[in-house]
Amino acid sequence: MAFTLTFLGKGGTGRTTIAIAAAKSFAAQGKRVLLFSYTTGPDLELLLGCELAAAAEPRTVETNLDVVQPSKVKLLERGWAEVKALEAKYLRSPFFKDIYGEELAAFPGIDRAIALNNLRKFDDSGKYDVIIYDGTGGEDQLRMLGVPDVLSWYARRFSKVVAESDFARALTPFIQPVAGAVLNTGWGSEPWKEPMKEMDGLLAQGRDAVSNPRRFAAWLVTTPDSIAIAQAKYLWGSAQQSSITVGGVLVNRAEEEAATLLADTFAPLRVSGLPERSAEDWSALVAAMPKFDTASQAPRPIEIDIAQKQVRLFLPGFMKGEVKLIQSGPEMTIEAGGQRRNILLPAALKGRSVTGAKFQGGFLIISF
């Protein structure tokens, strides 16, 4: 399994340049690196000095470094072809066969889901030690990375509703023979149970991978500009809400002294200043890259202390009035900055009511 690294920040702060420098840094250490860019435009090709031709497969640009900047249309077409292949596997009479990939552009968010699936495939391939993901760098990218967590909530919620309903129990004897007639593979007396279980398992794997700082981490990118700093701080809190650990802050086109002035703004994260890239010479910028594998030392988005009967969420950048807590049975929902996060409580805390909640030092501390 690869370590995946991504960068968050305002447009124009140099995220793509830093992504390339980080990729070069890992490659120089002997790591097998993939730079996966899900951006549009000629920036990446110009910075690398090579043509990528929007191919869906990676191209080797230097020792230990592969790069891919796939066309979104091609990814949609390939992803849809896989969906139709699965449909043909399970359904006796496929009905998606006459729908084409490019027609899916009308479905909002489907391109994000397919991009995430391709990221997963590159990770599963075993070809790479490190994957650098260069995306939009904002909330749209965070929503993409949060897809497994959101969908797993829906799977838990609605599969439970279906399974426990009188309606489902009454229909089971009728659904089973119908499912046998439609599906190539039967799933016993509860035809929805096994596929839902399988889907929930896959979503759990994706959710666990994104929330594990040894497997996935984000770094904030800013410049000394006040607007860029404010956006980076906002994305810091939003990333935590998406279960993504932010490992540090990179202040682009700034001396180390200027970066030191932002230490309090982003405490307790490490803030590093990066020099501006000089023409075609990447050496100084590559040498200035921090140790990205230290993300596990940064504050985790969530910590559950069963002994103290507490759940602690790190929500930097938010004020107390911006955070809302909702408890519903064994789950909690945290609303902050226009985002929702659903937390499934461990068995030891299920059934317990919240006895107190306080916002202290960027942490929301919930007691049971």
Tens-binned pLDDT, residue by residue, of the chain (368 aa): 899 999 999 999 999 999 999 999 999 999 999 999 988 888 899 999 888 877 778 999 999 999 999 876 666 666 566 655 655 555 555 555 555 544 444 455 666 777 777 888 899 899 999 999 999 999 888 888 877 776 666 666 666 655 565 545 554 554 445 444 444 455 455 555 555 565 566 666 777 778 889 999 999 999 999 999 999 999 999 998 888 999 999 999 987 787 888 999 999 999 999 998 887 899 999 999 999 988 888 888 899 999 999 999 998 888 888 888 888 777 888 888 677 788 888 889 988 889 998 888 888 999 99
Cβ-Cβ contacts under 8 Å for 52 (sequence gap 6 or more): 44, 45, 59, 67, 68, 69
Residue 76: per-residue pLDDT: 64
Burial class of residue 279 in the structure, from the number of CB atoms within 10 Å of its CB (0-12 exposed, 13-18 middle, 19+ buried): exposed
Q: Taking the mean position of all CA atoms in its chain, how far away is CA 7?
A: 11
Query: What length does the chain have?
Result: 368
Q: To which residue do tokens 């009511």 refer?
A: 353
Are 159 and 200 within 8 A, CB to CB?
yes
Tokens linked to 79: 């992803």
- Using CA atoms, how far residue 181 sits from 92, 174, 184, 190, 325, in Å, is 8, 12, 8, 15, 46
One of 2.60.40.790, 1.10.3720.10, 3.40.50.150, 3.40.50.720 is the CATH number of 302-367, namely 2.60.40.790
Beta strands 33-37 and 130-134, pairing class: parallel
Residue 105: per-residue pLDDT: 47
Residue 106: per-residue pLDDT: 45
Residue 362: per-residue pLDDT: 84
Alpha helix positions (H), 1-146: 15-28, 43-48, 72-90, 110-124, 139-145
Residue 50: per-residue pLDDT: 87
Q: How far apart are CA 192 and CA 196, in angstroms?
A: 6
Cβ-Cβ contacts under 8 Å for 150 (sequence gap 6 or more): 342
Residue 265: per-residue pLDDT: 93
Q: How far apart are CA 139 and CA 8, in angstroms?
A: 9
What residues does each domain of the chain span? 3-150+207-297, 302-367
Q: Which residues pair with 133 in a beta bridge?
A: 6, 36
Residue 327: per-residue pLDDT: 84
Domain 3-150+207-297: CATH superfamily is P-loop containing nucleotide triphosphate hydrolases (3.40.50.300)
Its pTM stands at 0.79
Burial class of residue 332 in the structure, from the number of CB atoms within 10 Å of its CB (0-12 exposed, 13-18 middle, 19+ buried): buried
Q: How far apart are CA 163 and CA 283, in angstroms?
A: 59
